Amino acid sequence: MKNILKWLVIIGGGFLVLIIAAAFIIPKFIDIHKYKPVMEQKVAEATGRSFTFGDDMDVSVFPWVGIKLTDLHLGNPAGYKEKDMVSVKNFEVRLKVMPLLSKRIEVKTFVLDSPRIYLETLKNGTANWQGIGAKQEKKDTRADSKKAKTSDSRGLPIEALQVASFSITNGQMIYVDQKTNVKKEISDLNLKLEDISLEKPVGISFKAKIDGKPVTLEGTAGPIGKEPGKGTIALDFVLKALEVLDVKLKGTLTDPIVSQTFDLEVETASFSPRKLLAALHQEFPVQTKDPKVLDAVSLKTRIKGNSNSISFSDGVLVLDDSKLIFSAFAKEFAKPNLTFDLQLDDIDLDRYLPAPPEKDQTQKTEETTPGKNEPAKKKTDYGPLRKLVLDGNVTVGKLKAHGARVENMVVHILAKNGIITIDPLGLNLYQGSVASKIELNVQKDDPQTKVTLDAGGIQVGPLMKDAMQKELIEGALKANIRLSMTGEAPDMIKQTLTGQGDLLFEDGAIVGFDLAGMVRNAKASFGMGEQVTQKPRTDFAELKIPFTSESGLVNTNGTSMQSPLIRVMATGTVNLVKELLDLRVDPKFVATLKGQGDTEQRSGLMVPVLITGSFSSPKIRPDLKGMIGSGTAIDVEGLKQQVLGTKTDQKEKTESAKEDVKKKIKGLLPGLIK
């Protein structure tokens, strides 16, 4: 037995000596250069591209298995601007022999020096990287399918991995698109990995320039473990790009191959999107009214998820002077199923809206008016909205849009089975409040919309001045509106608009129209007073506008206004479909100029007015026939008192002046005063 062991040791030692001797002797006495053409041919056959490398070759076997190649070139197909698709100045890899016997890989050096990758797309869309190794890939696919049946998931067939030095230096990548005339370049690319092993985090240092602007990535990743793709991998990176962007990322990846679970904290320092795109030589995609906005953005949030769901928590987005606190959760991505909560402190949306066009609006309207022969607008596909599941809350402290200012805005949005509900939609504006509910049903091809709105205490004067830059009406508005409609096109909405509502304006005025002033100025026109030069307005104590709508026909019966010197009643219809007016306004001038709040019924002069015609060309005329035929008593003395003054004043006038005034009144209202 001892002799057997003795001879086994002698034989084994002999083989070991032969192996070591061969490792030293073979590279010295065998000319590896004669295999160079064969190696070049094999790579060319595998890639479908020409392949060459330099004569300066070095192969070692022991104690380090290694190879060193220089001046490598992988060619481009014919028709491309440059000869080489890939070129490398130096390539070297060396690993230790003996640890391989115990499934341990120890790499001394892995160096890729001055690699250059040239990617090009021709005008016909063909790219130089297409078709590489197509035949080989087809062959490999069959082999891989056989291997897949017999493979298992026992992890790497090695016990340990250790790499002393891994580096890519002075790399360059150029991308050219002949079709769009775009060229991008990554230069000065340097990648260094430190402490590469299965049990320790790997240090990563990446530096490059994108179109001349620096990009760096520093941090650690790992350990990856003996079964890559399983277990938890820690990440801790800092990305700095283009001297503008600074991003921190820290967290973990769990089972990245199986479940793709991640838990990451992302934080960006404040940066300017405008400067970022400028550094990328890209035009900013939007033109804002205020060129200073979108110049300071920062983000901080925690992102957790896997292949089935994702969540954002503890989110803070700062946009210029606004701060948004947010959280969100998404699952069932095919629908998707979303929940979110957004809390915005203050934002002026007008600063972010597009600048007003310089082009003449009249000319623009003419140019954009659809022609008779233009194709009908394609109907909206509501399929995605029918699948959407949504539950979201939005609160806004202060908001400005189109000049109007809103405070304490609260919105709750629900969506399920094709029904989208906004309830509540509440806000405060101009000393008043609005509570609204909107329901959009897209279960059918034509969407159905229901709107309810209750408002109170809104000062409409400042609101219209801010939102429309016009002064039309003043007072406190109280509104109650219930409407329903079908369709998305304006014509269909007008045809189906149905509902009712009440608008009540209190203690206000109609600006630009002064009935009382007209009477006062009548005195001056007859040489008996002074012209009133103040801005015209008709004060009122109450302006009430009830309405009903049925299939686009709006009925305004019951509209009334109580004002000093005048009481007004209005009846009639507004046809939204045909855009026609059929209204009758019955103003009643009363013999008083008392202020608002005088609700006593008084007799006076009825001057009915008919408003007919189209929206674009309305016709307004007095209904003299209706006025005379109404049988209403005319308070002539009251009217004379308003025009001529008190009885005491009349006595001070000459008889000739009285007769002159009467003649002028007769001329103004023929047949009414004798």
Give per-residue pLDDT as tens, 407-445: 999 999 999 999 999 999 999 999 999 999 999 999 998
Query: Which tokens sit at 274?
Result: 């405008």
- In terms of residue numbers, what domain contains 506? 474-674
On whether residue 333 sits in a domain, the answer given is no
**Of 66, 65, 35, which is closest to residue 53 (Cα–Cα)?**
35
Residues of the chain with pLDDT under 70: 1-32, 61-64, 96-104, 133-161, 357-377, 513-535, 565, 589-607, 623-674
Given a contact cutoff of 8 angstroms between Cβ atoms, the answer to whether 526 and 643 are in contact is: yes
> What is the structure's pLDDT at 134?
57
Task: With H, G, I as helix, E, B as strand and everything else as coil, classify residue 670.
Answer: coil
Q: Tally DSSP H helices, then E strands, for the chain.
A: 13, 34
Measured in degrees and rounded to the nearest 5, phi and psi for residue 21 equal -65, -40
Which amino acid is residue 499, in one-letter code?
Answer: G
What is the dihedral angle through the alpha carbons of 74, 76, 78, 82, rounded to the nearest 10 degrees?
A: -110
Instruction: Provide the number of structural domains found in the chain.
Output: 2
Domain stops at, among 197, 216, 246: 197
On whether residue 76 sits in a domain, the answer given is yes
Point out which residues pair with 117 in neighbouring strands. 86, 173
On whether residue 383 sits in a domain, the answer given is no
User: DSSP class of residue 462?
Assistant: H
User: What contacts 645, CB < 8 A, 6 or more positions away?
Assistant: 523, 528
Q: What is the largest CA-CA distance in the chain?
A: 162
> What is the structure's pLDDT at 666?
39
Given a contact cutoff of 8 angstroms between Cβ atoms, the answer to whether 235 and 250 are in contact is: yes
Domain stops at, among 179, 197, 215: 197
Check the CA dihedral 38-43-47-49 and report its sign: negative
On whether residue 622 sits in a domain, the answer given is yes
Check the CA dihedral 612-614-615-618 and report its sign: negative
**Alpha helix positions (H), 79-133:** none
Query: Which tokens sit at 451?
Result: 């709107």
User: DSSP class of residue 285?
Assistant: S
> What is the structure's pLDDT at 279?
84
* Cα–Cα distance for residue pair 117/176, rounded to 1 Å: 11
* Cα–Cα distance for residue pair 566/588, rounded to 1 Å: 5
> What is the structure's pLDDT at 100?
60
**Of 173, 222, 175, 220, which is closest to residue 197 (Cα–Cα)?**
222
Q: How far apart are the two ends of the chain, measured CA to CA in Å?
A: 155
CB-count exposure of residue 122 (10 Å: 0-12, 13-18, 19+) = middle
Which DSSP string do the residues of 595-620 spell out, in sequence order?
Answer: -TT------EEE--EEEEEESSSEEE
Q: Using only C-alpha atoms, what is the Rg of the chain?
A: 43
On whether residue 235 sits in a domain, the answer given is no
Peptide bond into 447 cis (omega under 30): no
User: Tokens 């002539």 label which residue?
Assistant: 636
**Of 268, 265, 267, 220, which is closest to residue 244 (Cα–Cα)?**
268
Helix or strand (DSSP H, E) at 460: helix 460-468
> What is the structure's pLDDT at 596?
44
Which amino acid is residue 570, in one-letter code?
Answer: A
Length, in residues, of the chain: 674
On whether residue 144 sits in a domain, the answer given is no
Measured in degrees and rounded to the nearest 5, phi and psi for residue 53 equal -145, 165
Domain stops at, among 148, 171, 197: 197
On whether residue 62 sits in a domain, the answer given is yes
* Cα–Cα distance for residue pair 185/119, rounded to 1 Å: 10
On whether residue 36 sits in a domain, the answer given is yes
* Cα–Cα distance for residue pair 622/617, rounded to 1 Å: 17
* Cα–Cα distance for residue pair 479/30, rounded to 1 Å: 99
Peptide bond into 336 cis (omega under 30): yes
